[in-house]
């Protein structure tokens, strides 16, 4: 294998040096878009040398108009099979057949002659978005429609890089899904604060009852909920658990919060565990006030009534956000949150069609 190149770097060059010349020569005047978006650590800029063992390598998506897709897809596919080089920058352009026993995984596979089995997906913008999000780029979406769109899918569709957009449809489609509508954003933050408020006293109560393991579990849940809240506060989509910590480390608040989270998770007893959590609560509370989406809420921690537990009473922030929501449907919903806030299943949050089946939760 050659020296590792990040996938976006590799495929930016793969498009410009290998794919584009073939399309220009064999299909002059063709209007298309080219990008690397969707699944993959390379799209999220998290890939390492380990990532090269599956579904990684010279690859991208080609987007055609609906008419050209019908008329030219097969010809373009075959031309790329016949004309692409066997390797690019030392990486095989040919891939193994999908491994159906492993979710269709494909790996780079060197060959001595063509045609190659390339990993260039040829599709349309409309079809791609329908498959990924379950909605077309120009669909009119209600607030509930947004609540059944998992963040992981929204992140993947808006991450990566567009290399060429002569169609003029891909970038506007991505822009539309760059972030939540304002009231959906407020509702998601309300739900996240509500989750924290429901469990913040349990770190101390479980530990006081002699259940230090339970206290650690609650602390870990609270750390994860606080992390997910900061993604919302910084207007960044949160990835699923595999990449949550990596992505969090790139937030502007990470330098302040990471030491506190690590201290809470490594503390040996509940009394020393709740102190760094309390400091983290106050930082995240001040971050809320800095957003100026509600009137200021007192960001200081306090005792949990007469019990010796330090809490923020995070429900106060949830209440303030509820009052700030103007959409009547969202304002009256209980703070269960969007599907990826109350369902902890990768299978569901990685599949928009499954997530959409939970629409009934919202009445």
Closest C-alpha among 310, 322, 344, 309 to residue 224: 344
- Mean pLDDT value across residues 140-145: 96
Q: How far apart are CA 291 and CA 280, in angstroms?
A: 17
pLDDT category at 348 given cuts 50, 70, 90 is: confident
Report the candidate in 59, 63, 75 with the shortest Cα–Cα distance to residue 130. Answer: 63
Cβ atoms of 341 and 180 closer than 8 Å? no
The DSSP string of 224-260 is HHHHHHHHHHTT-PPP-HHHHHHHHTTSTTHHHHHHH
The pLDDT score that the predictor gives to residue 1 is 74
Angle at 252 between CA 318 and CA 269, to 5 degrees: 65
The confidence score (pLDDT) of residue 246 equals: 97
Average pLDDT over the chain, rounded to an integer: 96
What does the pLDDT look like over 99-141, one tens digit per residue? 998 889 999 999 999 999 999 999 999 999 999 999 999 999 9
> Per-residue confidence at 350, pLDDT binned at 50, 70, 90?
confident
Over range 305-318, report the average pLDDT: 97
Cβ pair 34, 62 in contact under 8 A: yes
Q: Would you call 315 exposed, middle or buried from its count of C-beta atoms within 10 A (0-12, 13-18, 19+)? A: middle
When pLDDT is averaged across residues 41-55 and rounded to a whole number, the result is: 96
Calculate ∠ Cα 41-180-135, nearest 5°.
75
Does the pTM surpass 0.85? The reply is yes
* Banded model confidence at residue 326, pLDDT cuts 50, 70, 90: very high
- Compute the half-sphere exposure of residue 2: CA atoms within 13 Å on the CB side of its CA: 12
Residue 363's pLDDT is 87
Provide the pLDDT for residue 308: 96
- Is there a contact between 97 and 80 (Cβ–Cβ < 8 Å)? no
- Predicted confidence (pLDDT) at residue 143 exceeds the cutoff of 80: yes
Tokens of 93: 């352009």
Residue 221 scores a pLDDT above 90: yes
Contact partners, residue 322, CB within 8 Å, separation at least 6? 190, 331, 335
With beta carbons less than 8 A apart as the criterion, state whether 239 and 152 touch.
yes
Contacts of 236 (CB under 8 A, 6+ apart): 247, 251
Q: Per-residue confidence at 346, pLDDT binned at 50, 70, 90? A: confident
Query: Is the pLDDT at 242 greater than 80, yes or no?
Result: yes
String of DSSP letters for 96-151: PPPBGGGTTB--B---SSS----EEEEE-HHHHHHHHHSS-TT----HHHHHTS-H
Give yes or no for residue 22 having a pLDDT over 90. Answer: yes
Counting residues of the chain whose pLDDT is more than 70, the rounded percentage is 100
Percent of the chain at pLDDT > 90 equals 94
């Amino acid at each position: 294998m050659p020296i590792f190149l990040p996938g976006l770097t590799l495929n930016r060059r793969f498009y410009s040096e290998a794919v584009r010349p073939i399309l220009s020569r064999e299909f002059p005047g063709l209007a298309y878009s080219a990008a690397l978006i969707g699944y993959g650590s390379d799209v999220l800029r998290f890939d390492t040398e380990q990532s090269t063992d599956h579904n990684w390598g010279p690859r991208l998506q080609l987007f055609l108009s609906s008419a050209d897709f019908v008329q030219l897809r097969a010809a373009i596919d075959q031309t790329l099979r016949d004309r692409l080089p066997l390797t690019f920058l030392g990486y095989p352009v040919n891939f193994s057949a999908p491994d159906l026993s492993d979710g269709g995984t494909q790996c780079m596979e060197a060959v001595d002659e063509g045609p190659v089995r390339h990993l260039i997906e040829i599709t349309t913008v409309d079809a791609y978005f329908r498959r990924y999000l379950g909605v077309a780029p120009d669909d009119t979406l209600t607030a509930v429609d947004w609540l059944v769109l998992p963040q992981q899918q929204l992140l993947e569709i808006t991450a990566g890089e567009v290399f060429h957009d002569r169609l003029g449809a891909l970038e506007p489609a991505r822009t539309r899904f760059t972030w939540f509508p304002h009231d959906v954003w407020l509702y998601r933050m309300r739900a996240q604060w509500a989750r924290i408020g429901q469990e913040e006293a349990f770190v101390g109560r479980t530990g006081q009852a002699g259940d230090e393991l339970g206290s650690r579990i609650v602390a870990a849940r609270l750390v994860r909920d606080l992390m997910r809240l900061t993604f919302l506060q910084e207007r960044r989509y949160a990835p699923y658990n595999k990449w949550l910590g990596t992505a969090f480390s790139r937030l502007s608040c990470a330098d302040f919060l990471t030491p506190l989270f690590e201290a809470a998770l490594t503390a040996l007893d509940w009394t020393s565990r709740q102190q760094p959590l309390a400091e983290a609560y106050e930082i995240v509370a001040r971050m809320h006030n800095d957003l100026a989406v509600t009137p200021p809420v007192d960001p200081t921690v306090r005792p949990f009534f007469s019990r010796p537990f330090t809490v923020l009473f995070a429900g106060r922030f949830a209440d303030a956000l509820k009052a700030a929501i103007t959409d009547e449907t969202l304002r009256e919903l209980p703070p269960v949150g969007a599907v990826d806030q109350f369902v902890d299943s990768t299978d569901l949050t990685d599949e928009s069609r499954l997530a959409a089946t939970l629409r009934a939760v919202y009445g």
